[in-house]
Amino acid sequence: MIEISGLTKTYGPTPVLDGIDLTVGDAQIAAVVGPSGAGKSTLARCINLLERPTSGSITVAGQDLAGLSGGSLRRARRQIGTVFQSANLLRRLTAAQNIALPMRHQGLRDAEVRSRVADLLERVGMLHRANHYPSQLSGGQRQRIGIARSLALQPSVLLSDEATSGLDPDATRAILDLLTGLRDDLGVTILVITHEMDVVRGIADVVAQLDHGRIVEQGSVADVVRRSDSPLSRALLPMPAAPVAGDLRTWELRYTEDEVSPAWLSRVSRELGDVAVLAALVEESGGVPVGRLTVGLDPLLDERRVTQVLAAVGLAAEPGPARVDDARPATAGRTESAA
């Protein structure tokens, strides 16, 4: 578990982190997002004590790192593995030798080093590249080796600082699957620093948004998307584009409940008339459905009645910015599968 309380970091008179409170439970994946300069990487460096916090506490596995020094700090740091945007592999060492390096620094016996290196290479799907040098590996392969090296000392916490930035979609997906597997199989607690919302939706249990050194919103990914309509919510699950102008009035809908019946469209159509589903993005996050839809309704309908009917089926509704051009209202049975 990671528990951060009242964390501040200043450089001279300038605060980079200002009163950060954040908790990541055991075997959870937390994502920290925010614009450039928000303090994301500084937060990661404070957690692994590459930077000393100005004030506040950082507790990892029940131990306050901010109060440690010397040998106690070095031992505590072994519980934290870090993967950076660049894998930072030593180019004159093979993949296996790079992974072995932290273990050799700790004085582990050769037989144990060889066994653990083989296990880690197999876990990250790189056993067949054990004797390849970094220049012989793709960007995604180098990141896999970097992740394996970060696990060499069997940490309980893994920090991933923009580890998928610059990778192609297939390599990104492979890294995300690998991180999810580490959580599920080994119980590793993972903190992901990223600006990629697809990454957050793909693997995170919880999300926190940093802005000017402060957390301005946090919660489970599903709750942030479903329970609010903030900028972070819209960034995580944007409203899909839909036709504009015409005879129907557009409404923007958002899932707000853990369970939304697949038959909601039939029920709403019975009470409000034809519903034209113009665009929809519905997926699962944390085991519950999240979604945004744009629909077209009769422009003469009373707004209050529309919002009440939709709220009864678990959907928040707001009038859209424009009307629909030549929308062809779909029958309830034909549209349910699309929504």
Look up residue 296 and give its two tokens.
Answer: 């077209």
Q: 280-336: per-residue pLDDT in tens?
A: 998 888 778 889 999 999 999 999 999 999 999 999 999 987 454 544 455 444 343
Please give the span between the terminal C-alpha atoms of the chain, in angstroms, as a whole number: 38
Interior angle at CA 169, CA 291 and CA 232, nearest 5 = 35
Q: 233-260: per-residue pLDDT in tens?
A: 999 998 878 776 568 899 999 999 888 8
Average pLDDT, the chain: 88
* pLDDT at residue 39 tops 60: yes
Domain 237-319: which CATH class?
A: alpha beta
Q: 9-28: per-residue pLDDT in tens?
A: 999 888 999 999 999 999 99
- What does the pLDDT read at residue 246? 67
What mean pLDDT comes out for the span 66-89?
Answer: 84
DSSP category for residue 66: G
Separation between Cα atoms, residue 226 and residue 253, nearest integer Å = 11
Nearest by Cα to 121 from 88, 95, 155:
95
Higher pLDDT pick, 67 / 40: 40
Q: What is the pTM of this model?
A: 0.84
Where in the chain is CATH 3.40.50.300? 2-228
Nearest by Cα to 190 from 1, 21, 45, 59:
1
CB 155 within 8 A of CB 80: yes
- What does the pLDDT read at residue 331? 46
Nearest by Cα to 61 from 185, 192, 156:
156
What mean pLDDT comes out for the span 155-175?
Answer: 89
Higher pLDDT pick, 240 / 194: 194
Look up residue 96 and give its two tokens.
Answer: 């296996």
- The CATH superfamily label for domain 2-228 reads P-loop containing nucleotide triphosphate hydrolases (3.40.50.300)
Question: Helix, strand or coil for residue 29?
Answer: strand
321, exposed or middle or buried, with CB in 10 Å at 0-12, 13-18, 19+? exposed
CB 57 within 8 A of CB 6: yes
Where in the chain is CATH 3.30.70.260? 237-319
Look up residue 125 and give its two tokens.
Answer: 């799907």
Interior angle at CA 201, CA 85 and CA 217, nearest 5 = 90
What mean pLDDT comes out for the span 117-124?
Answer: 95
* pLDDT at residue 337 tops 50: no
- What does the pLDDT read at residue 339? 40
Q: 40-62: per-residue pLDDT in tens?
A: 989 998 998 888 899 999 998 78
What mean pLDDT comes out for the span 167-181?
Answer: 89
Separation between Cα atoms, residue 49 and residue 303, nearest integer Å = 54
